[in-house]
Structure 1
Amino acid sequence: MDLGRRVLEQQEPLYAEEEEMYEDEVARLESLPTAFEEGEWTREDLEWVIEWKVRVFTKPTLKHLDKNDDEEIRARINEAVHESSIRSKVEALTSLTGIGVPVASAILLFINPDRFTVIDERAWNVLHETGYLGQELSDDPTVDEYLLYLGACWTLANEYDVSLRMLDRALWVLDIKGESIASD
């Protein structure tokens, strides 16, 4: 199977069916970029992003996040919003206790969904199976892996003229459907 535009577009309704937080995701993708840009986001917004990304690990992740004081959290998110370097953005977020690269990438997605996507094992698997990524994702993704993943996603989104969010959703669905992309 080729990852063409038609294939990617066909996954959107399936994502909406599979993703229990889909409606909230859509609403937050509308509101959070402005909230982050203007510094008007709340702790509840950040907790929602974490829950959206980590699901069953939300409570442990939030427990670790609580080890950071509110000023530190606000300063690191402000850095992630305003830094020009993607590496610096990710490193600012991962300097917070409890935030690894996957959660940092989710925060970046909600800061700017036109520029960032969330690193995910399922999506990575599809890119690996189709030859867009040459290695498997490590158990504890690194900043370098995120940069590699993001570059592959930018390339595909441009190649097929789709948004990063559409691409990400499609890759996620293609992996959970259990289809072997490479063998089709």
Structure 2
Amino acid sequence: MGIDFPKWVNEFEEQWEDKPIEYLDESGRWRKDADPLFGSISAAIQSREEISVTELQKISQWKLQGKRNDSNITQNETSEVERRSRVALQASDDLEAIESLTRLLGVGVPLASTVLTVGRPTEHAIIDYRAFRGLAAAKPEIATPEEYTTYAEFLEHFRTYLTKAETYEYYITHIRELAAERGLSSREIDMALWAFDKAKA
């Protein structure tokens, strides 16, 4: 069974149209981007190649949708957030990018992947349990119990996706393969997988 990616991208967009993410524009004013493909926020972040501690806080609030992680994030020095986000956004190595961000207080792999995705949505994707489960439906060969080694690898990565940077590497490799096959961005693939899993779970 294949996944109709354009259909599920549309489903995602309909569910998230009222969930804007806040960011700083080039003049230093707070703006809201309701585009799930992060058109405005990614342009702003790419123009300066870093985020502030307050922006990290806003990205976390958007990712967690109602839950708060502010007390952890605000313990980070602004200069450290700027430095680590600059390293991450300029890194050509996914592991280096994720590890740079997860050294910050309050930043696990899912939030680190969100920072990378809002900064570079064509290249990166947000990792979470729904999209990860959806990946098994899109690529059933990686989650077939008959192929024990491959299946065990999938299960181990699913188990550790909150904390292991290597899991993002595994995940984004498969996401990019799907993106190349379908002619979509990495962000669109994660959106489709999330919406598909939410509907089917």
Q: Same fold (TM over 0.5)?
A: yes
* Identity between Structure 1 and Structure 2 (%): 25
What displacement does 1:64 show?
A: 0.4
Unaligned segments of structure 1, at least 5 residues:
180-184
Aligned to 2:164: 142
Q: So what's the TM-score if we normalise by structure 1?
A: 0.84
* Closer, same or farther: CA 12–85 of 1 in aligned 2, 3 Å: closer
Aligned to 2:71: 63
* Closer, same or farther: CA 154–27 of 1 in aligned 2, 3 Å: closer
Q: Distance in 2 between matches of 1:28 and 1:126?
A: 19
For the 8 Å contact 1:102–1:119, the answer to whether it is kept is yes
Equivalent position to 2:193, from 171, 178, 182: 171
Aligned to 2:11: 14
For the 8 Å contact 2:63–2:114, the answer to whether it is kept is yes
Q: So what's the TM-score if we normalise by structure 2?
A: 0.77
Structure 1 segments (4+ residues) deviating >4 Å? 40-44
Aligned to 1:182: none
Q: What pairs with 1:25-174 in structure 2 (closer than 5 Å)? A: 25-26=34-35, 29-39=38-48, 41-57=51-67, 59=68, 61-129=69-137, 130-132=140-142, 134=151, 135-136=154-155, 137-138=158-159, 140-174=162-196
Q: Distance in 2 between matches of 1:43 and 1:27?
A: 22
Unaligned segments of structure 2, at least 5 residues:
22-32, 144-150
Aligned partner of 1:9: which letter? Answer: P
Q: Distance in 1 between matches of 2:168 and 2:102?
A: 12
Q: CA RMSD in A?
A: 2.2
* Closer, same or farther: CA 76–41 of 1 in aligned 2, 3 Å: closer
Aligned residue pair count? 174
Residues 104-158 of structure 1: per-residue CA shift (max 9 Å, x gap):
0000001111111111110110112433453231253411110000000001111
